[in-house]
Structure 1
Amino acid sequence: PGYANARFAGSNDEDCLAADQAEAVARLVRLRRRRPLVLTADRGRGKTAALGIACARLLAAGQAHIQVTAPRPEAIAALFERLTALRPEGKCHDNRFVEAGVGCVEFMAPDVLSDKLERGEVGGPGSWLLVDEAAAIPAAMLGAWLTAFPRIVFATTVHGYEGSGRGFALRFRERLERQAPEWQQYHLAAPIRWCADDPLEPLINQLLLLDAEPPAAVPLAPLFLQHWQQAQLAADEQALRAVFGLLVQAHYRTTPGDLQRLLDERGLSITTLASDGQIQAVCVSADEGGFAPELAERVARGERRLPGHLLAQSLAAHAGSRQALTARLRRVQRIAVHPERRREGLGRHLLEAEREAAREAGIDLLGASFGAEPGLLAFWQALGFCTVRLGLSRETSTGEHAVMVTAPLSAEGSAIRIELVRRFRRLLPALLAFELAALDPEVVLALLSEGGSPSRVEGERQDLADVAGAGREPALARPALQALVWRAAQAPPHDRELAWLAGWAFQGRDLAWLAAQAGVAGRRQALARLRKIVGRYLPAGESGEVGGFPPR
């Protein structure tokens, strides 16, 4: 409000309200190939408006098409507002700005953008992508965009529920350094929504913990495990800020409702690990299930929907398990480790403590739901969890498929988990061929690595040898190639060539896709590469066999 009439001291740019906003716009417009810009700001600094101003100037300079994405369309409303004000000849409709004879600025949700990128419909030479609230988007997805778009901007909020810009920088810095070592960063500090030193801003930050930060990292000190009552945590301001700061840094989406649920939701369990008095990791879980059989049947049939109970209700509705509703489940809602203490075993320590506490409480299954990503799947698999369900569509805001994993804690839980895993593994090949044909092939390998590989059938060895060295059409030996991939997936880590073979064998990805992944030109070279991959993995077909392959 009042943007057009407001002027702040220090800005010589008539379109900008502060000097650092003008500098951000200048950097955006001058952006060079393969030198991505990371733009950070606290809330109310005009970051998104700066993107809109830059779009207006890029259109004026002859850039015909600019792609924009964010977790949700509302996040970039200020971009289109400023763009429309500065380019009144154009029209904005359905998050797409078009100026006849000049160009367009188009918003795409992350999942749509990734799908189009997979099909080669976006990206490439001369393309631009502006990513707002990048901290709320998985790093793997950002990395794919970084590769595809020569000019790309990652804008994010440092403090606030949009995600932690500092956490984003820590998570994404390694990939930036590897893929674009000349990347640059700029921070907007001058407030626009607020007056300088307005007491309302720190008050709102304090009330909603918008500025909550993780405490200091304390390596090499003994760890102290603590289970918190919600009232106890609410009364300890320092501990509450530390816990919430860790949760915001580690997770892509946080809302004021998460703070309320942390303190008020019934049946919530909060466990922390501390070193030298500083909380270094936190696990939040909630009890589910335990329904009477009659209610469980109604829920499974879709006639009732109860608040909470995400894991239990989803396994009943989508995996057909009524027992998941009558048994007692505990779902790990969130687990977060200090960014400087990761890969030290703190997450494992927390989950092992949660598993023991749940077993003592009479829980049958411990589970979790998260975005399907190879690294996360490997973490849970190493702790004995198995996949029991995978969402058929990507979440709009993250572009990832939701995956559910469980570990049994009782005899009843073991029986339920065995049946859930059996159903999922039997269904998986068909899902990969149809509904999950666009799933990341590295996630496919992570899923195939669970539960054993197929037994070799008669003639399979010859089929594989013929594909590798005798010129046989690979499609005519697809069952043997699927078995080869499934068997090789049992021995992680997996290389990218095995992921390519999985994409071709299970998901129907064509040779054009394989050529693009391998960086070769044409069907003939792609086919030769496929044969070479089969030949390299052929010895895996001679290894020991494990039963459990789903029926053909």
Structure 2
Amino acid sequence: MKLASARHRGLLWLRGESAWTREHAQQAFGGADEVLWVGGAVPADITALAMRKAVTRLGHEHDVVVFDAHDGFDPDAFGALAGTVRAGGLLILLSDESFGSGPDGDYYRLADWPHEAAALSARYLARLARLLKASSSIALWRQGDSWPRFPVLAVAPPDDDLGDDACLSPDQAQAVERLVKLKRRRPLVIIADRGRGKSAALGIAAARRMAAGEQELLVTAPRPGAVEPLFERLAALCPNGRRDGNLFRWPQPDGTSRQVRFVAPDALLPEEGPGEGGPGTTLFVDEAAALPAPLLTRWLEAFPRIAFATTVHGYEGTGRGFAVRFRERLDAIAPDWRGIKLEAPIRWAAHDPLEATTRELLCLDAEPASDEHAIEALARGPIHLRRWSRDALAEDEPQLNALFGLLVQAHYRTAPADLRLLLDGPGVNIEVLEAGEILLGVAVTIDEGGFDDALAEAITCGERRPRGHLIAQSLALHGGVIEAAQARLRRVMRIAVHSACRRHGFGLRLTEAVAEAARRDGIELLGASFGAERGLIDFWAQAGFVPARLGLGVEASSGEHTLMMVRGVSTSGQRLRARLGQSFASLLPLLLAFELCTVEATLAARLLTFISSQPLTADEYGSLERYLHGSAPLTPYRALLQRYLVVHTKALTEESTAVLVGVLFQGRSLSWAATRLGLNGRAQTEQALRTRLASLAE
């Protein structure tokens, strides 16, 4: 086949009745060795995989992937599996002839109560069908037609001057060299599109570091399968070594062995926190964008030598979003970090038809306007706020790419399915900030709540859980406020400002535009739900939002506690905001003493600033003075000190707030406080706490 000789991969689209497409798909792949069939009725003797498990195949390769979309097209699964097709292979898409004319079976995931999937718009699928029909990079085989021809593009000759016989591109060779020479406190960040050999580069570098004398090197990733290429390269370069599960041992002549060990992310560091040390001094993190930023930060602080590798267009997180959000932490903790991007494909030839088609269909190449154009547009003005029509957006590829690119750039995780939600999710609104034709900011919202009294009661009692309505249901169920389910609420799902236009107040202008549109639409309450992080809390507080609920557990996706904040946009909404804020404020001290006793103390301190308290009386100040200038134990004074701290908490520095909050509200030990303050001994620590508290009285 010409695809194999060109080292290209092809997309074959079979359109027709399900029985016909499934039969002819088998004819198309003939005697291929490694065939994966996803979705639908799977023929005998062929490896089957459910759509929802597609991400588990990342790191694997197949000769043929059959993507049966008769029962529904899952964008995330399609994107993940397209990258597993090896050079010369096929991705075969099966669909009805009517594909794109209406919602399919996978739209049930968009159908929030009270909507039915069949009644939703299908702008996303119509766009896919339009692009597929117009594409010159795929082969279309309609029922009743003859076998189609595959387009094969010109292939650039390979670069033979690599200077490294183990590497397959100059990019990869440079990455390996930097990994081998990894220096203390100089982290390396490798960003690459799929098929560029980043995981293999980690394996080559691991082998060379062991050859240079490294006794143990640790590797982590979202799942072991993601680092299969790393272990494959180890086995090829260290033929005397042996792999045993997630451990690769390389015996040495002196009877010792050197090893590379995969450790699951949640087992890599002890619960005590960063700086406690890991079992090794070097850590390679693969698919870093799919891991929570707080976890990456802990490793950054704990491991002297660390490298992060991630995919530009990931399916659990994007490399660009990773770079935007994590770069601030890198700059703060390890300002001497270095970055490298792998451009040349290795697993297939350049100009691969399947890669080009997948990027176009899923908007993987979506980019906002350049910084230069954004700055010019900002200078020219004027700046307009308006709501975009989703019908028009689905037909306008440049605008759609600019908008989606802005969301990808600004957010840590943006998946292919987010584009479908953007175009077809019920109750979704898009408010934009633009100058001329340049998009400077966007806010994406979705409507929630409005449940009738009976259903709202059932939700509040935990008896019903209708699809969707994240904030409305959570505040009703976990906050016990039935009005949160009854009120009409608009949740800000995403808000993004062009990187060249930040620090100009545009985020707040967008939020005000959302609030004004909500008032016109009869909405009572605005809401936002996000991983609790100080910068985000400050932004939403500045926009008039108050905390309404803090999740008791850490979210696997963000590594942070989820915080929900609300703002009233009507008279009834203002009353509900006040009630939710007061409920949160009264409950927070109890939560910090019990369920949230291990939450990061700096976060607890920031949340306590939303609590109001009456100033201490003269008698209470007298009691306080006796504690501050005496040697009485803390316990009898805890309640008084808590009130005192809440009154003055905004005057405290972040670190001293954290220490005092940890001891007074969370019951943390004096040894914890001593470690935090860098002190030794109980008496010294107690005196330091008294000194910090006394400074507030001054």
Provide TM-score, normalisation by structure 1. Answer: 0.87
The equivalent of 1:204 in structure 2 is: 358
Given that 2:593 and 2:665 are in contact with CA atoms closer than 8 Å, whether structure 1 keeps it comes out as yes
SS of corresponding position for 2:407: helix
Q: Which position in structure 2 is the counterpart of 1:472?
A: 632
| Correspondent of 1:116 among 246, 249, 271 | 271
Secondary structure at the residue paired with 1:152?
strand
Q: Which has the higher mean CA deviation after the structures are superposed, 429-438 or 446-455?
A: 446-455
Once residues 519 and 122 of structure 1 are traced to their aligned partners in structure 2, the CA distance between those partners, rounded to angstroms, is: 17
- Closer, same or farther in 2 for the Cα pair 1:169/1:511, shift >3 Å? same
In 1: Cα distance, 2:552 partner to 2:163 partner: 51
Is residue 25 from structure 1 mapped to residue 176 from structure 2 by the alignment?
yes
The range that moved more, 375-384 or 113-122, is 113-122
Contact 2:268 2:278 in 1 (8 A): no
Which residue is equivalent to 2:696?
A: 537
Partner of 2:660: 501
| Aligned equivalents of 1:246, 1:102: Cα separation in 2 | 45
Range with bigger deviation, 73-82 or 376-385? 73-82
Q: Distance in 2 between matches of 1:62 and 1:537?
A: 54
Residue matched to 2:301: 147
Structure 1 residue 472: deviation in Å?
2.9
Aligned partner of residue 368 in structure 1, secondary structure: strand
From the superposition, tell whether residues 168 and 197 of structure 1 become closer, same or farther in structure 2 (CA, over 3 Å): same
CA contact (8 A) 1:170 1:339 kept: no
- 2:518 corresponds to 1:358: yes
Secondary structure in structure 1 of the residue aligned to 2:186 = coil
- Which residue of the partner structure matches residue 435 of structure 2? 275
The aligned counterpart of 1:128 is: 282
- The question of whether the paired residues in 2 share the 8 Å contact of 1:45 and 1:191 is answered with yes
Shift of 1:355: 0.5
Counterpart secondary structure, 1:397: coil
Question: How many angstroms apart in 1 are the aligned matches of 2:334 and 2:342?
Answer: 22
| Deviating more after overlay: 185-194 vs 293-302 | 293-302
Counterpart in the other structure of 2:261: 105
Q: 1:114, 1:356 → 2: CA distance? A: 47
Q: CA deviation at 1:64?
A: 4.6
- Report the CA distance between 1:99 and its aligned residue: 7.5
CA distance in 1, matches of 2:635, 2:273: 22
How do 1:87-236 and structure 2 match up within 5 A?
88-93=241-246, 102-103=258-259, 105-109=261-265, 116=271, 118=273, 121-123=276-278, 127-136=281-290, 142-216=296-370, 217-218=374-375, 219-220=378-379, 221-236=381-396
Identity over the aligned pairs, expressed in percent? Answer: 49
Match of 1:381 in 2: 541
Q: Deviations over 1:39-95 (max 9, x none)?
A: 1212221213322343344455554554444456665454455556666523225xx
Q: Residue by residue, what CA displacement relative to the aligned partner does 1:352-407 show, whole Å, maximum 9, x if unpaired? A: 01101111111111101000001100111111111111111111232101110111
2:616 & 2:623 partners in 1: Cα distance? 11
SS class of match (1:370)? strand
Shift of 1:510: 2.1
Per mean C-alpha deviation after superposition, the further-off stretch among 465-474 and 209-218 is 465-474
Q: 1:363 is paired with a residue of what secondary structure? A: coil
Structure 1 residues 349 and 471 mapped into 2: Cα distance closer, same or farther (>3 Å)?
A: same
Aligned-partner SS, 1:17: coil
In structure 2, what is the equivalent of residue 333 of structure 1?
Answer: 493
The structural deviation recorded for 1:324 is 1.6
Letter in 2 for 1:501: L
2:403 to 222, 243, 252: 243
Equivalent in the alignment of 2:604: 444
Distance in 2 of aligned mates of 1:122 and 1:314? 38
| 1:507 aligned counterpart, secondary structure | coil
Q: Normalising by structure 2, report the TM-score.
A: 0.70
Counterpart of 2:190?
39
How far apart are the structure 1 equivalents of 2:161 and 2:628?
Answer: 68
Deviation at 1:412, TM superposition (A): 2.7
C-alpha change, 1:20 and 1:432, in structure 2 (3 Å) is same
Change (3 A) 1:168 1:102: same
Change (3 A) 1:432 1:86: farther
Query: Could you say if the C-alpha distance between residues 58 and 457 of structure 1 is closer, same or farther in structure 2, counting changes exceeding 3 Å?
Result: farther
Alignment partner for residue 433 of structure 1, among 593, 598, 602?
A: 593
**Contact 2:293/2:559 (CA < 8 Å) preserved in 1?**
no
CA shift digits 1:242-271 (9 cap, x unpaired): 110111111111111101111111111001
Amino acid at match of 1:105: R
Report how far residue 310 of structure 1 moved: 0.9
Structure 1 counterpart of 2:513, which letter?
A
Q: Provide the secondary structure at the position in 1 that maps to 2:489.
A: strand
Structure 2 CA distance for partners of 1:97 and 1:375, relative to 1, 3 Å: farther
Alignment-derived partner of residue 305 in structure 1: 465
CA deviation vs aligned residue, 1:440-460 (integer Å, no higher than 9, x gap) = 222112211114235426754
Query: 1:266 is matched by which residue type in structure 2?
Result: P
Aligned residue number for residue 103 of structure 2: none
Partner of 1:403: 563
Amino acid in structure 2 at the alignment position of 1:386: V
Aligned to 1:542: none
Q: Distance in 2 between matches of 1:410 and 1:74?
A: 51
Contact 1:452–1:490 under 8 Å retained in 2: no
User: How has the CA–CA distance of structure 1 residues 157 and 233 changed in structure 2, closer, same or farther, with 3 Å as cutoff?
Assistant: same
Change over 3 Å in CA distance of 1:467–1:211 after alignment to 2 = farther
Aligned-partner Cα distance in 2 for 1:462–1:273 = 55
Contact kept? 1:464, 1:534, Cα under 8 Å: no
Q: Deviations over 1:462-498 (max 9, x none)?
A: 4443443323333442223322322222458x43212
Letter of the structure 2 residue corresponding to residue 35 of structure 1: R
Letter in 2 for 1:122: G
Asked whether the 8 Å contact 2:171–2:343 carries over to 1, the reply is: yes
Aligned length: 533
Bigger shift: 238-247 or 309-318? 309-318
Residue 33 of structure 1 aligns with an amino acid whose one-letter code is: R
SS in 2 for 1:202: helix
In 2, the alpha carbon distance for the partners of 1:441 and 1:531 equals 18
Please give the alpha-carbon distance, in whole angstroms, between the structure 1 residues aligned to 2:173 and 2:290.
Answer: 25
Counterparts of 1:445-460 in structure 2, within 5 Å, are 445-456=605-616, 459-460=619-620
- Match of 1:32, as an amino acid? K
2:474 — aligned with what?
A: 314
CA shift for structure 1 position 274: 0.7
One-letter amino acid matched to 1:483: R
Q: What is the letter of the counterpart of residue 346 of structure 2?
A: I
CA contact (8 A) 1:68 1:129 kept: yes
Q: 1:270 to 1:397 in 2, by over 3 A?
A: same
Q: CA deviation at 1:511?
A: 2.5
Contact persistence 2:321–2:411 (CA under 8 A): no
CA distance in 2, matches of 1:376, 1:210: 26
Question: In structure 2, the residue corresponding to 1:118 is in which secondary structure?
Answer: coil
* AA at the equivalent of 1:364: E
